[in-house]
Amino acid sequence: MIRAERLSKAYQGVPAVRGVDLSVPEGELCVLLGPSGCGKSTLLRLINALTPADSGTVKVNGRDIRSTPPETLRRGIGYVVQNVGLFPHYTVRRNISVVPELLKWKKEDIAKRAAFLMALTGLPDKYLDKYPHELSGGEAQRVGVARALAADPPILLMDEPFGSVDPLNRERLQRSFLDIQKTLNKTVLFVTHDVSEALTMGDRILLMREGRIVSSGTPRELVFTEGDAFSQAFFGSEMALKLLTRHQVRAACVREDAEGKVGCTIAADLPLTDALAMMLKKGCERLAVTEGGEILGVLDFAGLLRFFGEAEQDAR
Ligand SMILES: Nc1ncnc2c1ncn2[C@@H]1O[C@H](COP(=O)(O)OP(=O)(O)OP(=O)(O)O)[C@@H](O)[C@H]1O
Ligand SMILES: [Mg+2]
């Protein structure tokens, strides 16, 4: 559980964070969304005690961070730094192993964990022996995510963790992260300025502007509630479409005999946005949904509308 109360920070007299109240309950993935310069990274650094606040308090699991020894804080909180921040003179393997080594994990456990994290973030094992300068920006960023997850901390602060990863890998990372989140139930504060990413990832979204949190809610609440002009402009009119990325085709598929009635097929594990795109592109109102070579059922346009309107809130 993370709780911040009336948290403020100014740089050279210019406020960066202004009286922020925030709480992230255990197991929630909370997204902090907002334009460049609105104070997202500053807020994460205040929560992690990397930057001292001018006023206000932060409690992590009920304990004030000012009275928590920094090592305890670092071990309990995985932090993905914006623009990476890997140790340049360490190999990828050592970068990932820093916290497990601090915690005196056994060598073979560290090796196993490193291999698992490389697979999770989609990097080849042989990269473990590379140095940060031998990686592309997106690869380095994935190592940053692996490093934050290394010792399996209960709390994660992630500052634009997938910011410079290409769209395909980014989607894969988002999915694998959500998959592990389902079983591990970490308490996550996830920064992004990408609306799609916020809607895909967030149990709840906090929208920030000029150092303040100006609105908050579940993705569905934010889509269906008319916000102020800033929220509307920030989220954009296609926000409802983006909400479809949160669900797989499987969720809206109706189990009926598809034979002879449909021209197009789509895999059950693709996001519903792909289904809608296929309907538009191919002029196909009904899609046969496939899984492992078998036809699972049918997804039609009316079913998609129904699912979107009714089932969205409890589908996750
Ligand atoms: N160390 C610092 N010294 C002076 N000003 C700073 C410092 N760090 C941040 N700021 C200022 O505080 C404000 C908030 O910065 P912050 O990095 O928190 O924004 P952000 O929301 O993370 O932006 P981005 O999306 O671009 O990463 C900005 O105006 C920035 O210039
Ligand atoms: Mg930032």
Q: Kindly list the protein residues that place their beta carbon closer than 5 angstroms to ligand 2, a single-atom ion.
A: 41, 82
Of all protein residues, whose CA lies closest to atom 27 belonging to ligand 1?
36
Tell how far the Cα of 82 is from the centroid of ligand 1, in angstroms.
11
**Per-residue pLDDT for 259 more than 70?**
no
Closest ligand relative to 36 C-alpha: 1
- Higher-pLDDT residue of 236 and 126 is 126
Residues 6+ apart with CB under 8 A from 295: 258, 259, 265, 288, 289
> CA gyration radius for the chain?
21
Domains of the chain: 2-243 (3.40.50.300), 247-314 (3.90.1280.20)
Lowest mean per-residue pLDDT among 49-63, 79-93, 101-115:
79-93
Of all protein residues, whose CA lies closest to atom 4 belonging to ligand 1?
11
Predicted local distance difference test score (pLDDT) of residue 220: 82
Predicted local distance difference test score (pLDDT) of residue 260: 61
Tell how far the Cα of 192 is from the centroid of ligand 1, in angstroms.
14
Predicted local distance difference test score (pLDDT) of residue 306: 85
Tell how far the Cα of 88 is from the centroid of ligand 1, in angstroms.
24
Of all protein residues, whose CA lies closest to atom 1 belonging to ligand 1?
11
Closest atom of ligand 1 to 44 CA is 18
Tell how far the Cα of 265 is from the centroid of ligand 2, in angstroms.
41
Q: Which of 148, 147, 140, 134 lies closest to 96, judged by CA? A: 147
Predicted local distance difference test score (pLDDT) of residue 261: 62
Question: In what order do the strands lie in the sheet containing 29-33?
Answer: 77-80, 155-159, 187-192, 29-33, 204-209, 212-217
Predicted local distance difference test score (pLDDT) of residue 316: 42
**Per-residue pLDDT for 297 more than 80?**
yes
Predicted local distance difference test score (pLDDT) of residue 258: 63
- Higher-pLDDT residue of 165 and 58 is 58
Predicted local distance difference test score (pLDDT) of residue 242: 79
